[in-house]
Amino acid sequence: MNKNNSEILSAVQKFGTPSYIYDGEKLVQNYKNLVNALPECVDVFYALKVNPNVSLVKLLRSNGACTEVCSITEMEIALKAGSTPEDIVYLGPCKKDYELKKAIELNIFAIVIESEIELKRVSAFAKEMDIIANVAIRINPDFSAEGSPWKMGGRPTHFGIEEQHAIENFQVYLDTPNINVRGIHVYNGTNILEAKSVYENTKYILELYETIVRKYNCKFTMVDVGGGMGVPYFQNQEELDTQEFRNLMVPLFTNFNKKYPETRIIMESGRLIIGTSGCMAVQVNNMKTNHGKIFAVTDGGTNCHSAAAGSGRVVKRNFPMENISALPTAQEHKYQVSGPLCSPDDIIGRNIQLKEINVLDILLVKLSGAYGPTSSPGLFHSHGYPAEILLYQGESYLIRSKDSTDDIINKQIMVDFKKNELILN
Ligand SMILES: Cc1ncc(COP(=O)(O)O)c(C=O)c1O
């Protein structure tokens, strides 16, 4: 995020807190940096699960990004943002019938198949519609990505078909009626900071592609190697070395492309593109000292940003934070920064050193563009989704309004009980 604090403060004053603020220029730059670190034969697919805001997707799409979606709603967002079906891949372990039918009907580039049962379902629907459905077989490899804190492959998961089983049975997939198997998909893990690890992972997948092509003498038109490139959130972590990444990945992909020029090479990325482009702004509503610690209580915590609160992590470490209301000369103190929930775990800054905090100050949680509100329990205490703001080309845009009380209550249905049912005895 390269926007200055006064720009951020004035956007927050205009649109309120809790809110997510994105730097449009940084978002585009991150995307371009990734594209430039890869040879031309690779297409970058932005993963909407990481942040599905339609304006952000539109900005990426207008700069050339393709899209990877995991639900029909994400697919509609991608289309609304300007994506065309041939630049969409659709995956996810639980696709509903209507979602599969819609994807087949739209003729997207590939439905990524997560199981043999799913392949049969797609085949049956495509037959009903008299269409050939384009698919890729997702493989859960025997290999797992080094350096990923969240491994998706090389262990029992609900993703994809096991490598050995897939290799043995691939002819069945190729022979399935109304199915065009474009190739394979592997996504092995997220938040990898070592270029070498992404390289090893990709090399493994390209070799797996070759094993299958050779064994079955088939022609593929796609290989999706996932990605998982990360962002350094915590002290002592270093960002992915782009030069090393480039030096390793360019020859790997270029050689592959020479051998298989008809194969579209896909890399999926979310966190690397958007993680550093966003921050969360929260307002301090209450201050107190409790058992010797100073607490700053803010209007957005786990409910808006469960990653910053360390949900799912045994060791809780702080995302970088700043008090942007403090004067530069203010003294620093050690704080516990909490959210608004009645949960002792709702802490987004533990023993964190920040410039003196006062009630109404605005605190920023940085590096927060990825996996923010969409992967947080937003309805806890019925607080709802925070606002989202885009700063781009000197303008500030509200790109999602904060959920209002009506937004939340109107989704609930109050039953008009018959009189007798309310009398218990
Ligand atoms: C299949 C798949 N693709 C893409 C992504 C996005 O990954 P990242 O944010 O690490 O780029 C994920 C994240 O879990 C994923 O599961």
Alpha carbons 322 and 335: distance in angstroms, whole number: 12
| 3-class state of residue 31 by DSSP | helix
Structure tokens at 40: 């031309």
| 194 phi/psi in degrees, rounded to 5 | -100, 125
Query: What percentage of residues in the chain have a pLDDT greater than 70?
Result: 96
Q: What is the pLDDT of residue 151?
A: 60
Same domain, 116 and 261: yes
Same domain, 321 and 256: no
299 contacts 282 by C-beta, under 8 angstroms? yes
Is it the case that residue 150 has pLDDT exceeding 70? Answer: no
Residue 215 domain-assigned (yes or no): yes
For residues 203-226, average pLDDT: 97
DSSP state of 17: S
Q: What is the pLDDT of residue 423?
A: 60
Alpha carbons 260 and 135: distance in angstroms, whole number: 18
Structure tokens at 341: 């929930």
Place 35 in a pLDDT band, splitting at 50, 70 and 90. Answer: very high
Q: What is the pLDDT of residue 142?
A: 85
End-to-end CA distance of the chain: 62
DSSP bridge pairs for 184: 137, 223
Same domain, 231 and 296: no
Compute, in angstroms, the gap from residue 190 CA to the centroid of ligand 1. 6
Is it the case that residue 196 has pLDDT exceeding 90? Answer: yes
Is it the case that residue 76 has pLDDT exceeding 60? Answer: yes
For residues 8-14, average pLDDT: 97
Same domain, 363 and 256: no
Q: What is the mean pLDDT of the chain?
A: 94
282 contacts 373 by C-beta, under 8 angstroms? no
Query: Which residue did the predictor score with more confidence, 206 or 149?
Result: 206
Q: Return the H-helix or E-strand segment holding 273.
A: helix 271-274
DSSP state of 96: -
Is it the case that residue 148 has pLDDT exceeding 70? Answer: no
For residues 322-327, average pLDDT: 96
Is it the case that residue 68 has pLDDT exceeding 80? Answer: yes
Residue 66 domain-assigned (yes or no): no
Residue 127 domain-assigned (yes or no): yes
Is it the case that residue 152 has pLDDT exceeding 70? Answer: no
Which protein residue has the closest C-alpha to ligand 1 atom 15?
Answer: 187
Burial zone of 109 (CB within 10 Å; 0-12 exposed, 13-18 middle, 19+ buried): buried
Q: What is the pLDDT of residue 190?
A: 86
* Residue closest to 20 by CA, chosen among 405, 406, 400: 400
For residues 130-143, average pLDDT: 94
DSSP bridge pairs for 326: none
Compute, in angstroms, the gap from residue 46 CA to the centroid of ligand 1. 9
Same domain, 285 and 360: yes
DSSP bridge pairs for 295: 288, 336
Give the CA distances from residue 230 to residues 185, 242, 328, in Å, rounded to whole numbers and listed in that order: 20, 11, 31
Q: What is the pLDDT of residue 314?
A: 75
Residue 356 domain-assigned (yes or no): yes
Which protein residue has the closest C-alpha to ligand 1 atom 5?
Answer: 47
Which protein residue has the closest C-alpha to ligand 1 atom 13?
Answer: 190
Give the CA distances from residue 141 to residues 100, 185, 189, 275, 367, in Å, rounded to whole numbers and listed in that order: 24, 10, 11, 27, 31
Q: For residue 302, what is the domain's CATH number?
A: 2.40.37.10
DSSP state of 192: B
Domain-ending residue, one of 269, 303, 328: 269
Q: Which ligand 1 atom is nearest residue 272's CA?
A: 11
- The preferred substitution site among 66, 114, 268 for testing ligand 1, maximizing ligand atoms within 8 Å of CB, is 268
- The preferred substitution site among 187, 188, 205, 233 for testing ligand 1, maximizing ligand atoms within 8 Å of CB, is 187
pLDDT by residue (tens digit) across 282-304? 999 999 999 999 999 999 999 99
Is it the case that residue 6 has pLDDT exceeding 90? Answer: yes
Which domain, by its residues, includes 340?
280-409
Is it the case that residue 153 has pLDDT exceeding 70? Answer: no
For residues 143-147, average pLDDT: 69
Give the binding-site residues of ligand 1, using a 6 Å CB cut-off.
47, 49-50, 68, 91, 152, 187, 190-191, 226-228, 268-272, 370
HSE value, Cβ hemisphere, 13 Å, CA-based, for 104: 26
Same domain, 249 and 295: no
Compute, in angstroms, the gap from residue 45 CA to the centroid of ligand 1. 10
Same domain, 211 and 322: no
Q: Which residues contact 64 (CB under 8 A, 6 or more apart)?
A: 31, 35, 44
Alpha carbons 352 and 360: distance in angstroms, whole number: 18
For residues 343-365, average pLDDT: 96
Same domain, 120 and 235: yes
Query: What percentage of residues in the chain have a pLDDT greater than 90?
Result: 88
Alpha carbons 366 and 359: distance in angstroms, whole number: 20
Same domain, 393 and 303: yes
Instruction: Give the count of domains, the chain.
Output: 2
Q: What is the pLDDT of residue 189?
A: 83
Is it the case that residue 421 has pLDDT exceeding 90? Answer: no
Q: What is the pLDDT of residue 315?
A: 80
Is it the case that residue 102 has pLDDT exceeding 70? Answer: yes
Same domain, 292 and 225: no
Is it the case that residue 179 has pLDDT exceeding 90? Answer: yes
Place 10 in a pLDDT band, splitting at 50, 70 and 90. Answer: very high
Place 143 in a pLDDT band, splitting at 50, 70 and 90. Answer: confident
Q: Return the H-helix or E-strand segment holding 296.
A: strand 293-298
Q: Which residues contact 319 (CB under 8 A, 6 or more apart)?
A: 233, 234, 307, 308, 348, 365, 366, 367, 368
Query: Which residue did the predictor score with more confidence, 262 or 314?
Result: 262
For residues 60-86, average pLDDT: 98
Residue 20 domain-assigned (yes or no): no
Q: For residue 235, what is the domain's CATH number?
A: 3.20.20.10
Same domain, 241 and 137: yes
229 contacts 179 by C-beta, under 8 angstroms? no
Domain-ending residue, one of 213, 240, 269: 269
Place 159 in a pLDDT band, splitting at 50, 70 and 90. Answer: confident
Q: What is the pLDDT of residue 424?
A: 60
Residue 383 domain-assigned (yes or no): yes
Same domain, 240 and 91: yes
Compute, in angstroms, the gap from residue 269 CA to the centroid of ligand 1. 6
